[in-house]
Amino acid sequence: MDYNEALQYIHGASKFGWKLGLNNITRLLDLMGNPHKKLKFIHVAGTNGKGSVCAFLTQILIEAGYRVGTFTSPYIERFTERIKLDNCDIDEDDLARITGFVKSRVDMMTQAGENHPTEFEIVTAIGMQYFFEKKCDVVVLEVGLGGRFDATNVIDVPLAAVIMTIGYDHTDILGKTLPEIAFEKAGIIKEGGDVLLYPQSDEAEKVFERVCAERKAVLHKVDTGCIKIREFSEDGQVFDYGERKGLSIHLLGEHQAKNAAMAIRTVELLAKKGLPVTEEQLRRGLEKTRWPGRLEVLLKKPVFLIDGAHNREGAEVLSRTLREYFPNHRKIFIFGVLKDKEYDLMLEKVAPLASAIITVTPESPRAMKARDLAVIAGRYCKNVLVSDTIEDAIEKSFKLAEPDDLVCSFGSLYYIGVVRQLLLNRKK
Protein backbone atom coordinates (compact mmCIF):
# COMPACT_ATOMS: atom_id res chain seq x y z
CA MET A 1 0.00 0.00 0.00
CA ASP A 2 1.42 3.39 -0.99
CA TYR A 3 0.39 6.80 0.37
CA ASN A 4 -2.39 7.47 -2.16
CA GLU A 5 -3.79 3.98 -1.68
CA ALA A 6 -3.73 4.55 2.07
CA LEU A 7 -5.71 7.78 1.70
CA GLN A 8 -8.21 6.05 -0.59
CA TYR A 9 -8.69 3.30 1.96
CA ILE A 10 -9.08 5.73 4.88
CA HIS A 11 -11.53 8.03 3.10
CA GLY A 12 -13.33 5.03 1.63
CA ALA A 13 -14.41 4.13 5.16
CA SER A 14 -16.57 7.26 5.18
CA LYS A 15 -19.34 5.16 3.63
CA PHE A 16 -19.69 3.46 7.01
CA GLY A 17 -20.82 6.78 8.47
CA TRP A 18 -20.03 8.27 11.86
CA LYS A 19 -20.98 5.85 14.61
CA LEU A 20 -20.34 7.06 18.15
CA GLY A 21 -19.32 4.32 20.55
CA LEU A 22 -16.21 2.55 21.81
CA ASN A 23 -16.85 -1.09 20.85
CA ASN A 24 -15.30 -0.86 17.37
CA ILE A 25 -12.19 1.06 18.36
CA THR A 26 -11.65 -1.10 21.44
CA ARG A 27 -11.81 -4.28 19.35
CA LEU A 28 -9.58 -2.87 16.61
CA LEU A 29 -6.89 -1.70 19.02
CA ASP A 30 -7.04 -5.03 20.84
CA LEU A 31 -6.25 -6.83 17.58
CA MET A 32 -3.35 -4.38 17.13
CA GLY A 33 -1.87 -5.22 20.53
CA ASN A 34 -3.35 -2.19 22.34
CA PRO A 35 -0.64 0.37 21.52
CA HIS A 36 -2.57 3.09 23.40
CA LYS A 37 -2.10 1.19 26.67
CA LYS A 38 1.61 1.98 26.50
CA LEU A 39 1.23 5.74 26.10
CA LYS A 40 0.53 8.79 28.28
CA PHE A 41 -2.07 11.31 27.15
CA ILE A 42 -3.38 14.82 27.59
CA HIS A 43 -6.99 14.54 26.43
CA VAL A 44 -8.58 17.75 25.09
CA ALA A 45 -12.32 18.27 24.53
CA GLY A 46 -14.63 21.27 23.98
CA THR A 47 -16.50 23.14 21.27
CA ASN A 48 -13.94 25.86 20.50
CA GLY A 49 -10.29 26.31 21.42
CA LYS A 50 -9.27 22.63 21.38
CA GLY A 51 -6.81 23.00 18.53
CA SER A 52 -5.17 26.13 19.94
CA VAL A 53 -4.56 24.66 23.38
CA CYS A 54 -3.21 21.49 21.73
CA ALA A 55 -0.79 23.65 19.73
CA PHE A 56 0.39 25.52 22.85
CA LEU A 57 0.83 22.30 24.86
CA THR A 58 2.68 20.57 22.05
CA GLN A 59 5.20 23.38 21.53
CA ILE A 60 5.83 23.90 25.24
CA LEU A 61 6.51 20.19 25.79
CA ILE A 62 8.79 20.07 22.73
CA GLU A 63 10.78 22.99 24.13
CA ALA A 64 11.12 21.02 27.37
CA GLY A 65 12.76 18.19 25.44
CA TYR A 66 9.93 15.67 25.39
CA ARG A 67 8.98 13.49 22.45
CA VAL A 68 5.44 14.70 21.71
CA GLY A 69 2.73 13.14 19.60
CA THR A 70 -0.22 15.30 18.53
CA PHE A 71 -3.54 14.08 17.18
CA THR A 72 -5.95 16.70 15.83
CA SER A 73 -8.73 17.08 13.27
CA PRO A 74 -9.63 18.17 10.72
CA TYR A 75 -6.62 19.16 8.63
CA ILE A 76 -6.03 22.47 6.83
CA GLU A 77 -4.03 21.48 3.75
CA ARG A 78 -2.70 17.90 4.04
CA PHE A 79 -4.13 14.80 5.70
CA THR A 80 -0.80 14.11 7.40
CA GLU A 81 -1.28 17.21 9.58
CA ARG A 82 -3.64 15.18 11.76
CA ILE A 83 -0.89 12.97 13.18
CA LYS A 84 2.35 14.69 14.21
CA LEU A 85 5.57 13.89 16.02
CA ASP A 86 7.31 16.92 17.51
CA ASN A 87 5.17 19.15 15.26
CA CYS A 88 6.24 17.33 12.10
CA ASP A 89 3.59 15.56 10.03
CA ILE A 90 3.60 11.78 9.91
CA ASP A 91 5.79 10.61 7.03
CA GLU A 92 3.81 9.41 3.99
CA ASP A 93 5.60 6.05 4.02
CA ASP A 94 4.83 5.55 7.71
CA LEU A 95 1.19 6.43 7.10
CA ALA A 96 0.97 3.93 4.23
CA ARG A 97 2.68 1.16 6.16
CA ILE A 98 0.62 1.60 9.33
CA THR A 99 -2.60 1.92 7.34
CA GLY A 100 -1.81 -1.48 5.77
CA PHE A 101 -1.32 -2.92 9.25
CA VAL A 102 -4.59 -1.43 10.50
CA LYS A 103 -6.43 -2.67 7.39
CA SER A 104 -5.28 -6.23 8.09
CA ARG A 105 -6.91 -6.02 11.54
CA VAL A 106 -10.06 -4.44 10.11
CA ASP A 107 -10.26 -7.36 7.67
CA MET A 108 -10.08 -9.76 10.62
CA MET A 109 -13.04 -7.94 12.19
CA THR A 110 -15.21 -8.01 9.08
CA GLN A 111 -14.37 -11.65 8.32
CA ALA A 112 -15.61 -12.48 11.83
CA GLY A 113 -18.88 -10.69 11.07
CA GLU A 114 -18.06 -7.64 13.20
CA ASN A 115 -18.79 -4.03 12.24
CA HIS A 116 -16.40 -2.23 9.92
CA PRO A 117 -14.73 0.68 11.79
CA THR A 118 -15.54 4.21 10.68
CA GLU A 119 -13.04 6.56 9.04
CA PHE A 120 -12.33 8.38 12.30
CA GLU A 121 -11.82 5.09 14.16
CA ILE A 122 -9.30 3.98 11.55
CA VAL A 123 -7.43 7.30 11.74
CA THR A 124 -7.41 7.08 15.54
CA ALA A 125 -5.96 3.57 15.37
CA ILE A 126 -3.26 4.71 12.92
CA GLY A 127 -2.32 7.54 15.27
CA MET A 128 -2.09 5.27 18.29
CA GLN A 129 0.18 2.82 16.46
CA TYR A 130 2.41 5.63 15.16
CA PHE A 131 2.81 7.25 18.58
CA PHE A 132 3.62 3.86 20.11
CA GLU A 133 6.23 3.07 17.46
CA LYS A 134 7.84 6.50 17.92
CA LYS A 135 8.01 6.02 21.70
CA CYS A 136 6.29 9.30 22.52
CA ASP A 137 6.74 10.59 26.06
CA VAL A 138 3.28 12.15 25.88
CA VAL A 139 0.47 12.45 23.33
CA VAL A 140 -1.72 15.55 23.04
CA LEU A 141 -5.00 13.96 21.96
CA GLU A 142 -7.85 16.09 20.61
CA VAL A 143 -11.38 14.71 20.76
CA GLY A 144 -13.07 14.38 17.38
CA LEU A 145 -16.72 14.85 18.37
CA GLY A 146 -18.24 15.16 21.82
CA GLY A 147 -16.21 13.02 24.18
CA ARG A 148 -18.20 10.26 25.85
CA PHE A 149 -18.48 8.05 22.76
CA ASP A 150 -15.66 9.56 20.70
CA ALA A 151 -13.08 7.03 19.50
CA THR A 152 -10.29 8.87 21.35
CA ASN A 153 -12.05 8.09 24.63
CA VAL A 154 -10.77 4.52 24.37
CA ILE A 155 -7.77 5.62 26.46
CA ASP A 156 -7.38 4.97 30.18
CA VAL A 157 -7.00 7.77 32.72
CA PRO A 158 -4.98 10.56 31.04
CA LEU A 159 -2.41 12.75 32.74
CA ALA A 160 -4.97 15.53 32.34
CA ALA A 161 -8.40 15.98 30.79
CA VAL A 162 -8.62 19.52 29.43
CA ILE A 163 -12.13 20.82 28.69
CA MET A 164 -12.41 24.03 26.70
CA THR A 165 -15.46 26.20 25.92
CA ILE A 166 -18.83 24.51 25.54
CA GLY A 167 -21.14 25.88 22.85
CA TYR A 168 -23.77 24.89 20.36
CA ASP A 169 -22.27 22.66 17.68
CA HIS A 170 -23.30 19.23 16.37
CA THR A 171 -26.56 19.68 18.29
CA ASP A 172 -28.21 16.91 16.25
CA ILE A 173 -25.77 14.45 17.86
CA LEU A 174 -24.69 15.98 21.17
CA GLY A 175 -27.95 17.54 22.36
CA LYS A 176 -29.91 20.75 22.03
CA THR A 177 -29.02 22.33 25.40
CA LEU A 178 -25.71 23.31 27.03
CA PRO A 179 -26.13 20.80 29.89
CA GLU A 180 -26.71 17.99 27.37
CA ILE A 181 -23.66 18.99 25.33
CA ALA A 182 -21.56 19.43 28.48
CA PHE A 183 -22.51 15.91 29.60
CA GLU A 184 -21.17 14.48 26.35
CA LYS A 185 -17.93 16.46 26.70
CA ALA A 186 -17.66 15.36 30.35
CA GLY A 187 -17.44 11.80 29.09
CA ILE A 188 -13.63 12.11 28.93
CA ILE A 189 -13.51 12.50 32.71
CA LYS A 190 -12.11 9.27 34.12
CA GLU A 191 -12.23 7.80 37.62
CA GLY A 192 -9.72 9.59 39.85
CA GLY A 193 -8.35 11.75 37.02
CA ASP A 194 -7.41 15.43 36.90
CA VAL A 195 -9.67 17.80 34.96
CA LEU A 196 -8.77 21.34 33.89
CA LEU A 197 -11.88 23.36 33.09
CA TYR A 198 -12.12 26.53 31.01
CA PRO A 199 -14.60 29.07 32.48
CA GLN A 200 -18.12 27.96 31.55
CA SER A 201 -21.72 29.07 31.92
CA ASP A 202 -23.20 28.12 35.29
CA GLU A 203 -25.41 25.41 33.78
CA ALA A 204 -22.48 23.76 31.99
CA GLU A 205 -20.15 24.09 34.97
CA LYS A 206 -22.62 22.29 37.23
CA VAL A 207 -22.52 19.29 34.90
CA PHE A 208 -18.73 19.06 35.15
CA GLU A 209 -18.82 19.48 38.92
CA ARG A 210 -21.36 16.66 39.23
CA VAL A 211 -19.48 14.26 36.93
CA CYS A 212 -16.16 14.94 38.71
CA ALA A 213 -17.80 14.28 42.08
CA GLU A 214 -19.32 11.02 40.81
CA ARG A 215 -16.00 9.81 39.42
CA LYS A 216 -13.86 11.14 42.26
CA ALA A 217 -11.92 13.24 39.75
CA VAL A 218 -10.07 16.39 40.80
CA LEU A 219 -11.56 19.49 39.16
CA HIS A 220 -9.19 22.41 38.51
CA LYS A 221 -11.15 25.51 37.46
CA VAL A 222 -8.84 27.74 35.48
CA ASP A 223 -9.16 31.44 36.28
CA THR A 224 -8.71 33.57 33.15
CA GLY A 225 -9.93 36.74 34.86
CA CYS A 226 -6.39 37.66 35.92
CA ILE A 227 -5.20 38.03 32.31
CA LYS A 228 -4.11 41.54 31.38
CA ILE A 229 -3.34 42.31 27.72
CA ARG A 230 -0.40 44.73 27.63
CA GLU A 231 -0.04 45.23 23.89
CA PHE A 232 -1.31 43.69 20.68
CA SER A 233 -0.95 44.01 16.91
CA GLU A 234 -1.64 41.92 13.85
CA ASP A 235 1.60 40.06 14.64
CA GLY A 236 0.53 38.88 18.10
CA GLN A 237 0.17 40.05 21.69
CA VAL A 238 1.90 40.39 25.04
CA PHE A 239 -0.01 39.73 28.26
CA ASP A 240 0.34 39.11 31.97
CA TYR A 241 -1.20 36.05 33.60
CA GLY A 242 -1.20 36.35 37.36
CA GLU A 243 2.39 36.51 38.57
CA ARG A 244 3.72 35.76 35.10
CA LYS A 245 4.48 39.03 33.32
CA GLY A 246 5.16 39.75 29.67
CA LEU A 247 4.09 36.47 28.08
CA SER A 248 4.28 36.67 24.29
CA ILE A 249 2.18 34.74 21.75
CA HIS A 250 1.68 35.14 18.01
CA LEU A 251 -1.98 34.05 18.00
CA LEU A 252 -4.48 36.91 17.80
CA GLY A 253 -7.38 37.66 20.13
CA GLU A 254 -8.01 37.77 23.86
CA HIS A 255 -9.42 34.24 23.63
CA GLN A 256 -5.96 33.00 22.61
CA ALA A 257 -4.44 34.49 25.76
CA LYS A 258 -7.08 32.49 27.67
CA ASN A 259 -6.22 29.36 25.70
CA ALA A 260 -2.56 29.94 26.58
CA ALA A 261 -3.55 30.19 30.24
CA MET A 262 -5.21 26.77 29.95
CA ALA A 263 -1.96 25.37 28.57
CA ILE A 264 0.05 27.00 31.38
CA ARG A 265 -2.14 25.48 34.08
CA THR A 266 -1.97 22.09 32.38
CA VAL A 267 1.82 22.24 32.25
CA GLU A 268 1.92 23.13 35.94
CA LEU A 269 -0.10 20.00 36.67
CA LEU A 270 2.13 17.83 34.46
CA ALA A 271 5.16 18.91 36.49
CA LYS A 272 3.62 17.09 39.47
CA LYS A 273 3.32 13.95 37.34
CA GLY A 274 6.92 13.64 36.22
CA LEU A 275 6.97 16.02 33.23
CA PRO A 276 8.64 19.20 34.53
CA VAL A 277 8.92 22.32 32.36
CA THR A 278 11.08 25.32 33.23
CA GLU A 279 9.81 28.88 33.06
CA GLU A 280 12.10 29.61 30.12
CA GLN A 281 10.86 26.54 28.22
CA LEU A 282 7.25 27.51 28.88
CA ARG A 283 7.73 31.07 27.62
CA ARG A 284 9.66 29.91 24.57
CA GLY A 285 6.97 27.36 23.78
CA LEU A 286 4.20 29.97 23.97
CA GLU A 287 6.15 32.37 21.75
CA LYS A 288 6.94 29.72 19.12
CA THR A 289 3.39 28.36 18.87
CA ARG A 290 1.69 28.71 15.51
CA TRP A 291 -1.80 27.45 14.61
CA PRO A 292 -2.60 27.89 10.89
CA GLY A 293 -6.07 28.92 9.84
CA ARG A 294 -7.10 30.57 13.10
CA LEU A 295 -7.10 34.35 12.75
CA GLU A 296 -3.97 33.94 10.67
CA VAL A 297 -2.71 37.02 8.82
CA LEU A 298 -1.34 36.00 5.42
CA LEU A 299 -0.96 39.39 3.69
CA LYS A 300 -0.53 42.95 4.95
CA LYS A 301 -1.73 45.34 2.17
CA PRO A 302 -4.56 44.75 2.19
CA VAL A 303 -4.62 42.74 5.39
CA PHE A 304 -5.83 39.27 4.39
CA LEU A 305 -6.59 36.86 7.21
CA ILE A 306 -8.26 33.48 7.41
CA ASP A 307 -10.21 31.97 10.29
CA GLY A 308 -11.87 28.60 10.78
CA ALA A 309 -14.84 30.01 12.73
CA HIS A 310 -17.65 27.59 11.88
CA ASN A 311 -20.23 28.06 14.65
CA ARG A 312 -21.92 30.93 16.43
CA GLU A 313 -19.35 31.15 19.25
CA GLY A 314 -16.48 31.16 16.77
CA ALA A 315 -18.16 33.88 14.73
CA GLU A 316 -18.71 35.96 17.85
CA VAL A 317 -15.03 35.69 18.78
CA LEU A 318 -14.04 36.58 15.21
CA SER A 319 -16.29 39.64 15.23
CA ARG A 320 -14.98 40.83 18.58
CA THR A 321 -11.35 40.36 17.58
CA LEU A 322 -11.75 42.19 14.27
CA ARG A 323 -13.40 45.12 16.05
CA GLU A 324 -10.53 45.27 18.53
CA TYR A 325 -7.55 44.67 16.23
CA PHE A 326 -8.77 46.36 13.04
CA PRO A 327 -11.24 49.06 14.12
CA ASN A 328 -10.50 51.41 11.21
CA HIS A 329 -10.27 48.90 8.37
CA ARG A 330 -13.08 48.54 5.85
CA LYS A 331 -13.94 44.84 5.94
CA ILE A 332 -14.68 42.43 3.10
CA PHE A 333 -15.64 38.86 3.98
CA ILE A 334 -15.38 35.60 2.04
CA PHE A 335 -17.72 33.06 3.61
CA GLY A 336 -18.28 29.36 3.01
CA VAL A 337 -19.88 26.89 5.37
CA LEU A 338 -21.41 23.42 5.64
CA LYS A 339 -25.18 23.26 5.45
CA ASP A 340 -25.53 21.68 8.93
CA LYS A 341 -23.93 24.72 10.59
CA GLU A 342 -25.62 27.78 12.12
CA TYR A 343 -24.79 30.03 9.16
CA ASP A 344 -27.66 32.40 9.93
CA LEU A 345 -26.43 33.05 13.47
CA MET A 346 -22.84 33.31 12.22
CA LEU A 347 -23.81 35.99 9.72
CA GLU A 348 -25.76 37.80 12.41
CA LYS A 349 -22.51 38.15 14.39
CA VAL A 350 -20.16 39.08 11.54
CA ALA A 351 -22.20 40.81 8.81
CA PRO A 352 -22.65 44.14 10.68
CA LEU A 353 -18.91 44.71 10.10
CA ALA A 354 -19.06 43.97 6.38
CA SER A 355 -18.88 46.40 3.49
CA ALA A 356 -19.17 43.33 1.24
CA ILE A 357 -19.65 39.57 1.58
CA ILE A 358 -18.52 37.06 -1.05
CA THR A 359 -20.02 33.59 -0.72
CA VAL A 360 -18.31 30.36 -1.83
CA THR A 361 -19.10 26.65 -1.81
CA PRO A 362 -16.64 24.60 0.29
CA GLU A 363 -15.28 21.40 -1.24
CA SER A 364 -17.53 18.99 0.65
CA PRO A 365 -20.71 17.03 -0.14
CA ARG A 366 -22.16 18.66 2.98
CA ALA A 367 -21.44 22.18 1.71
CA MET A 368 -23.98 24.99 1.67
CA LYS A 369 -24.26 26.20 -1.92
CA ALA A 370 -22.82 29.69 -2.44
CA ARG A 371 -26.02 30.98 -4.08
CA ASP A 372 -28.20 29.74 -1.21
CA LEU A 373 -25.79 31.24 1.31
CA ALA A 374 -25.90 34.56 -0.56
CA VAL A 375 -29.66 34.75 -0.05
CA ILE A 376 -29.17 34.46 3.72
CA ALA A 377 -26.26 36.93 3.69
CA GLY A 378 -28.44 39.41 1.81
CA ARG A 379 -30.60 39.79 4.90
CA TYR A 380 -27.66 41.34 6.74
CA CYS A 381 -25.57 43.04 4.04
CA LYS A 382 -26.60 44.95 0.92
CA ASN A 383 -23.43 44.13 -1.02
CA VAL A 384 -23.30 40.34 -1.53
CA LEU A 385 -21.44 38.60 -4.36
CA VAL A 386 -21.43 34.94 -5.36
CA SER A 387 -18.32 33.11 -6.56
CA ASP A 388 -18.31 29.78 -8.37
CA THR A 389 -14.75 29.02 -7.28
CA ILE A 390 -12.51 29.91 -4.36
CA GLU A 391 -9.98 31.44 -6.78
CA ASP A 392 -12.70 33.71 -8.13
CA ALA A 393 -13.71 34.77 -4.61
CA ILE A 394 -10.14 35.77 -3.82
CA GLU A 395 -9.84 37.76 -7.05
CA LYS A 396 -13.16 39.51 -6.35
CA SER A 397 -11.95 40.45 -2.87
CA PHE A 398 -8.74 42.01 -4.23
CA LYS A 399 -10.71 44.04 -6.78
CA LEU A 400 -12.90 45.38 -3.98
CA ALA A 401 -10.14 46.00 -1.43
CA GLU A 402 -7.95 49.08 -1.09
CA PRO A 403 -4.47 48.74 0.49
CA ASP A 404 -5.79 49.85 3.90
CA ASP A 405 -8.77 47.47 3.88
CA LEU A 406 -9.14 44.02 5.40
CA VAL A 407 -10.24 40.80 3.72
CA CYS A 408 -11.35 38.00 6.04
CA SER A 409 -12.02 34.51 4.69
CA PHE A 410 -13.84 32.51 7.35
CA GLY A 411 -16.06 29.51 7.88
CA SER A 412 -15.50 25.87 7.05
CA LEU A 413 -11.99 24.46 7.33
CA TYR A 414 -12.90 22.49 4.19
CA TYR A 415 -12.12 25.59 2.13
CA ILE A 416 -9.90 27.66 4.45
CA GLY A 417 -6.97 25.40 3.64
CA VAL A 418 -7.46 26.01 -0.08
CA VAL A 419 -7.54 29.78 0.51
CA ARG A 420 -4.38 29.52 2.59
CA GLN A 421 -2.46 27.67 -0.12
CA LEU A 422 -3.61 30.04 -2.85
CA LEU A 423 -2.57 33.07 -0.78
CA LEU A 424 0.84 31.62 0.10
CA ASN A 425 1.43 30.84 -3.59
CA ARG A 426 0.43 34.42 -4.41
CA LYS A 427 2.98 35.75 -1.88
CA LYS A 428 5.73 33.70 -3.53
Position 71 confidence tier, pLDDT thresholds 50, 70, 90: very high
Predicted confidence (pLDDT) at residue 20 exceeds the cutoff of 90: no
CA distance 340 to 367: 8
CA distance 124 to 52: 20
Domains delineated in the chain: 3-288 (3.40.1190.10), 296-427 (3.90.190.20)
The proportion of the chain whose per-residue pLDDT surpasses 90, expressed as a percent, equals 86
20-24, 182-186, 413-417: which is most confident: 182-186
Read off the pTM. 0.93
* Average pLDDT score over residue span 417-425: 92
Question: What is the tens place of the pLDDT at every residue in 290-300?
Answer: 999 999 999 99
> 338 forms bridges with which residues in the sheet?
367
Q: What pLDDT is stored for residue 15 in this prediction? A: 81
Q: What pLDDT is stored for residue 171 in this prediction? A: 66
CA distance 293 to 295: 6
* Average pLDDT score over residue span 277-287: 98
* Average pLDDT score over residue span 55-80: 96
Q: What pLDDT is stored for residue 145 in this prediction? A: 86
Predicted confidence (pLDDT) at residue 238 exceeds the cutoff of 90: yes
Q: What pLDDT is stored for residue 364 in this prediction? A: 82
* Average pLDDT score over residue span 49-53: 95
* Average pLDDT score over residue span 73-97: 96
* Average pLDDT score over residue span 260-286: 98
Q: What pLDDT is stored for residue 341 in this prediction? A: 84
Predicted confidence (pLDDT) at residue 427 exceeds the cutoff of 90: no
> 336 forms bridges with which residues in the sheet?
411
Position 252 confidence tier, pLDDT thresholds 50, 70, 90: very high
Position 174 confidence tier, pLDDT thresholds 50, 70, 90: confident
The proportion of the chain whose per-residue pLDDT surpasses 70, expressed as a percent, equals 99
Give the per-residue SS3 of the chain: CCHHHHHHHHHHHHHHCCCCCCHHHHHHHHHCCCHHHHCCEEEEECCECHHHHHHHHHHHHHHCCCCEEEECCCCCCCHHHHEEECCEECCHHHHHHHHHHHHHHHHHHHHCCCCCCCHHHHHHHHHHHHHHHCCCCEEEEECCCCCCCCHHHHCCCCCEEEECECCCCCHHHHCCCHHHHHHHHHHHCCCCCEEEECCCCHHHHHHHHHHHHHCCCEEEECCCCCEEEEEEECCEEEEEECCEEEEEECCCCHHHHHHHHHHHHHHHHHHCCCCCCCHHHHHHHHHHCCCCCCCEEEEECCEEEEECCCCHHHHHHHHHHHHHHCCCCCEEEEEECECCCCHHHHHHHHHHHEEEEEECCCCCCCECCHHHHHHHHCCCCCCEEECCCHHHHHHHHHHHCCCCCEEEEEECHHHHHHHHHHHHHHHC
Q: Which of 97-101, 165-169, 371-375, 422-426 has the lowest mean pLDDT?
A: 165-169
* Average pLDDT score over residue span 210-235: 96
Question: What is the tens place of the pLDDT at every residue in 113-170?
Answer: 999 999 999 999 999 999 999 999 999 999 998 899 999 999 999 999 999 998 877 7
